[in-house]
């Protein structure tokens, strides 16, 4: 086909720079028409094409004996043994949630679940990593309530339990909240499905909801800065229907398990186009589709809308040759709209027809091979100055007990129960460890002794002050959290949320964070199986640009060989000796304490020793598996003191510990500093020697801290050498910890 009029002046309306437009013309050998330019713009958007981030990803380790499916498919898959695999992935729905939180979050859940069942896996758990701005602001209340309602509405209705995640608050997310949703699915190895068109002659089947005008151009929308004008962009937010998705889920899994499917993919960002052209690319073949056959919700829809609509709950299925009829019958049983819209052909073109004419004829490779940019990254001098700031003048508060209460009532640290109770976290009857009870969720695998554990983690303050160490620390914390429930860490998915990569300061953060993740994953033997990138999380107020704290959320999956051998964070009945595995904190840099109590976001992120981390993880697992502890908790935001208080509150009993403050170390650092690679365990009295022998043999540094006090209602921490003691009643701690989220949720 020919098209001669240049669209170069309008390149930006298609989401392309003029350079990208010129590149398109030179690769195509002619001018594109408007539909083609729009399709290329969507496929080359950051959301689909990863043009600014992909070059960095070569650093990621992506292989290992546990990896059944690495990056490049709808989701990664790890082998957990006994013929079972776990498909998992995390994806952001940040921009839609900022504009319309209920539907933005709901469709975030819907989208990631489709990625999971497109792999042939039955979704069996969801975790949400949510970040909001100032907890006192009406906007935050509106967004938090909306996002929780959206997740609850969708997840509860479709019947996949929401079992964990994070909810934190920081002013940098005031305008750009983050909604990162991770889903896990269980599959038998033989049911692993792929997003491919298969072979020449295969039919292309559209199934699910009709196509409407909702979510039009979402991929481009999410790849640009938000502004006040974005509020007028509501049509770019999709609307979810969990009932339709439930039908789609059951039908898709039934079809895959019956061997009727040669390829499958969901229509996510950039809708019909991205799904079909990615499937064609993986098969190394061309396709022709007839847009007149696309089921529509309204009259008069044009090719651009049919191609780029992000209407939810739609899938592409490619039937096994010869079994098309069986597949259509099965889909009809589930009362789904089904149409054969095209065919796989022996060429390399992506061809679309409409009203008898070819309206798009592009090379499949051109669409799938977005340009890659490596940019110059430069650290912001402001952030460097914050990191290098001398903290020696920060006063040590007189009443450290009051500080502990303050920290527990910070919404980032406070109990998230009011949120979890709005999610069905038990449907499917696999949830062994409910949200909040431990550092990670644990699910049993029916018909096996095994359990699957999952967590999502990131401390954005660390990443902001030191992107390399902060991102590596997110991986380390995720692995440690899995170890704290008794699970061997297996692999990660990442969700990289950053500002505008065209800004050198942001690109620096992205590059450093990716390097940090890569090194930590290599050291801890947890390869990257996939991920998602969300850039442009910044808000323009006139000339002033506010970027979010860089937030590379790490989703990690692990396996428990025996789900009955596990740990939770609560102190258990009976007297126990408390141990710290790892080393005491020696500084207050980059801590929640420094920010909450002293109003300073500054200082050095504690040094991360990945070799030590590995030993602490090994030691924790060894203690749990030897039956020497059923309690484990890693200190994170708020440090050791907050972690001890959480264990006491959860166990409904007091404790007393004595911490040695070394010469030259501040007492508040030992209490509230956020050193990595630490785990608190509780060993039943009488078993200390066995525990110490085990830890000594593995070379894990440890210190006996003190004892749990069943029957006591006080948490007492003595700092020897500093002549400081704090003692607070459980009732006071509990009240401070439980109240904040109830108030914010209203």
Options 246, 293, 387, 687; binder of another protein; rule CB under 8 A: 246
Options 416, 422, 666, 676; binder of another protein; rule CB under 8 A: 422
Reply yes or no on whether 687 is catalytic.
Answer: no
# residues near another protein by CB under 8 A: 30
Smallest separation (angstroms) from another protein to the CB of 189? 21
Q: Which stretch binds another protein (CB under 8 A): 290-298, 344-352, 393-401, 425-433?
A: 425-433
Smallest separation (angstroms) from another protein to the CB of 440? 17
Q: Which stretch binds another protein (CB under 8 A): 152-160, 348-356, 661-669, 709-717?
A: 152-160
Smallest separation (angstroms) from another protein to the CB of 260? 19
Judged by CB under 8 A, does residue 142 bind another protein? Answer: no
Options 108, 208, 218, 242; binder of another protein; rule CB under 8 A: 242
Judged by CB under 8 A, does residue 652 bind another protein? Answer: no
Catalytic residue, chosen from 3, 47, 189, 687, is 47
Please tell me the distance from the alpha carbon of residue 422 to that of residue 424, in angstroms, as a whole number: 7
Please tell me the distance from the alpha carbon of residue 680 to that of residue 644, in angstroms, as a whole number: 8
**Positions in 434-473 near another protein (CB under 8 A):** 434, 444, 446
Q: What is the dihedral of CA 258, 264, 265, 271, to 10 degrees?
A: -110
> What is the per-residue burial (b if ≥16 Cβ within 10 Å, else e) of 67-95?
bbbbbebbbbbbbbeeebbbbbbbbbbbb
Judged by CB under 8 A, does residue 132 bind another protein? Answer: no
Integer CA distances (angstroms), 197 to 62, 90, 252, 345, 381, in order: 24, 24, 16, 10, 49
Q: Which stretch binds another protein (CB under 8 A): 149-157, 285-293, 307-315, 319-327?
A: 149-157
Q: Which of 420, 464 has the CB closer to another protein?
A: 420
C-alpha of 189 from chain center: 24
Judged by CB under 8 A, does residue 167 bind another protein? Answer: no
Tell which phi-psi region holds residue 428, choosing left (phi > 0), alpha (psi between -120 and 50) or beta: left
Q: Which of 230, 431 has the CB closer to another protein?
A: 431
Judged by CB under 8 A, does residue 158 bind another protein? Answer: yes
Residue with tokens 């994953």: 521
Answer yes or no: are the C-beta atoms of 474 and 553 closer than 8 Å.
Answer: yes
> What is the per-residue burial (b if ≥16 Cβ within 10 Å, else e) of 179-216?
bbbbbbbbbeeebbbbbbbbeeebbbbbbbbbbbebbb
Residue with tokens 């006080």: 714
Q: Which stretch binds another protein (CB under 8 A): 50-58, 70-78, 237-245, 289-297?
A: 237-245
Smallest separation (angstroms) from another protein to the CB of 556? 23
**Positions in 322-361 near another protein (CB under 8 A):** 334-335
Q: Supply φ then ψ for residue 713, to 5 degrees.
A: -120, 30
> What is the per-residue burial (b if ≥16 Cβ within 10 Å, else e) of 384-399?
eebbebebeebeeeee
Reply yes or no on whether 3 is catalytic.
Answer: no
Catalytic residue, chosen from 93, 425, 576, 676, is 93
Q: Which stretch binds another protein (CB under 8 A): 181-189, 312-320, 423-431, 733-741?
A: 423-431
Please tell me the distance from the alpha carbon of residue 121 to that of residue 160, in angstroms, as a whole number: 13
Q: Which of 39, 328 has the CB closer to another protein?
A: 328
Smallest separation (angstroms) from another protein to the CB of 129? 20
Judged by CB under 8 A, does residue 244 bind another protein? Answer: yes
List the Cα angle 705/641/720 in 5-degree steps. Answer: 50
Q: Which residues contact 653 (CB under 8 A, 6 or more apart)?
A: 571, 573, 708, 709, 710, 711, 712, 713, 730
Q: Which of 73, 241 has the CB closer to another protein?
A: 241
Q: CB count, 10 Å around CB of 600? A: 18
Q: Which stretch binds another protein (CB under 8 A): 1-9, 46-54, 235-243, 478-486?
A: 235-243
Judged by CB under 8 A, does residue 239 bind another protein? Answer: no
DSSP symbol at 15? T
Smallest separation (angstroms) from another protein to the CB of 160? 8
C-alpha of 221 from chain center: 20
Smallest separation (angstroms) from another protein to the CB of 564? 7
Q: Is 254 exposed, middle or buried (0-12, 13-18, 19+ CB in 10 A)?
A: middle
Smallest separation (angstroms) from another protein to the CB of 111? 18
Active site residues per annotation: 47, 93
Which positions lie near another protein, rule CB under 8 A? 152, 156-159, 241-244, 246-247, 334-335, 420-429, 431-432, 434, 444, 446, 563-564
């Amino acid at each position: 086909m020919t098209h001669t009029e240049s669209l170069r002046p309008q390149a930006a309306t298609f989401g392309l720079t003029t350079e990208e437009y010129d590149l398109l013309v030179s690769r195509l050998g002619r001018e594109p028409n408007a539909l083609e330019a729009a399709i290329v713009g969507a496929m080359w958007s950051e959301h689909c094409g990863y043009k600014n981030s992909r070059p960095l990803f070569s650093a990621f380790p992506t292989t290992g004996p546990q990896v059944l499916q690495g990056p490049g498919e709808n989701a990664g898959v790890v082998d957990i043994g006994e013929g079972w695999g776990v498909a998992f992935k995390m994806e952001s729905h940040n921009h839609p949630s900022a504009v319309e939180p209920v539907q933005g979050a709901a469709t975030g859940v819907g989208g990631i679940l489709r990625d999971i069942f497109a792999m042939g896996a039955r979704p069996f758990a969801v975790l949400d990593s949510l970040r909001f701005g100032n907890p006192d602001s009406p906007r935050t209340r509106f967004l938090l309530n909306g996002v929780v309602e959206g997740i609850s509405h969708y997840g509860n209705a479709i019947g996949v339990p929401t079992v964990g995640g994070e909810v934190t608050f920081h002013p940098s997310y005031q305008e750009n909240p983050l909604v990162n949703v991770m889903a896990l699915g269980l599959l038998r190895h033989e049911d692993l499905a792929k997003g491919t068109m298969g072979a020449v002659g295969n039919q292309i089947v559209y199934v699910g909801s009709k196509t409407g005008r909702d979510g039009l151009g979402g991929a481009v929308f999410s790849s640009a800065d938000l502004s006040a004008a974005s509020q007028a962009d509501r049509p770019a937010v999709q609307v979810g229907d969990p009932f339709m998705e439930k039908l789609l889920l059951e039908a898709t899994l039934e079809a895959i398990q019956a061997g009727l499917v040669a390829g499958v993919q969901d229509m996510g960002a950039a809708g019909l186009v991205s799904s079909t052209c990615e499937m064609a690319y993986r098969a190394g073949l061309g396709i022709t589709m007839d847009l007149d056959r696309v089921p529509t919700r309204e009259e008069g829809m044009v090719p651009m809308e049919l191609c780029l609509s992000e209407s939810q709950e739609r899938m592409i299925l490619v039937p096994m040759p010869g079994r098309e009829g069986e597949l259509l019958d099965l889909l009809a049983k589930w009362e789904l709209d089904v149409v054969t819209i095209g065919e796989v052909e022996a060429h390399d073109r992506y061809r679309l027809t409409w009203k008898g004419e070819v309206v798009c004829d592009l090379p499949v490779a051109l669409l799938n091979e977005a340009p890659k940019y490596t940019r110059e990254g430069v650290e912001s001098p402001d952030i460097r100055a914050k990191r290098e700031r001398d903290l020696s003048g920060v006063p040590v508060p007189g009443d450290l007990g009051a500080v502990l209460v303050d920290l527990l009532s910070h919404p980032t640290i406070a109990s998230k129960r009011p949120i979890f109770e709005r999610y069905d976290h038990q449907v499917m009857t696999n949830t062994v460890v409910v949200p909040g009870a431990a550092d990670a969720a644990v699910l049993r695998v029916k018909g096996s002794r095994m359990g699957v554990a999952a967590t999502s983690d990131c401390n954005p303050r660390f990443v902001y002050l030191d992107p390399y160490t902060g991102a590596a620390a997110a991986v380390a914390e995720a692995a440690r959290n899995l170890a704290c429930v008794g699970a061997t860490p297996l692999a990660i998915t990442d969700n990289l949320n950053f500002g505008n990569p065209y800004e050198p300061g942001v690109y620096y953060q992205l590059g450093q964070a990716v390097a940090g993740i890569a090194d930590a994953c290599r050291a801890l033997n947890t390869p990257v199986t996939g991920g998602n990138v969300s850039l442009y999380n910044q808000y323009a107020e006139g000339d002033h640009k506010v970027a979010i704290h860089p937030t590379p959320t790490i989703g990690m999956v692990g396996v428990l060989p025996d789900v009955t051998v596990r740990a939770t964070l609560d102190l258990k009945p009976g007297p126990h000796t408390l141990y710290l595995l790892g080393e005491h904190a020696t500084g207050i840099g980059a801590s929640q304490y420094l920010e909450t109590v002293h109003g300073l976001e500054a200082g050095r992120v504690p040094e991360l020793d990945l070799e030590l981390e590995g030993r602490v993880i090994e030691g924790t697992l060894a203690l749990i598996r030897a039956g020497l502890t059923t309690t484990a908790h890693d200190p994170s935001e708020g440090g050791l003191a907050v972690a001890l208080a959480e264990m006491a509150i959860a166990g409904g009993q007091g404790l007393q510990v004595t911490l040695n403050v070394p010469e030259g170390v501040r007492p508040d650092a030992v209490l509230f500093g956020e050193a990595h690679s630490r785990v608190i365990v509780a060993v039943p009295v009488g078993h200390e020697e066995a525990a110490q022998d085990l830890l000594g043999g593995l070379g894990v540094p440890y210190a006996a801290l003190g004892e749990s006090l069943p029957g006591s209602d006080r948490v007492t921490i003595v700092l020897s050498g500093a002549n400081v003691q704090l003692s607070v009643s459980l009732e006071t701690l509990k009240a401070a910890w439980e109240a904040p989220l109830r108030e914010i949720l209203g």
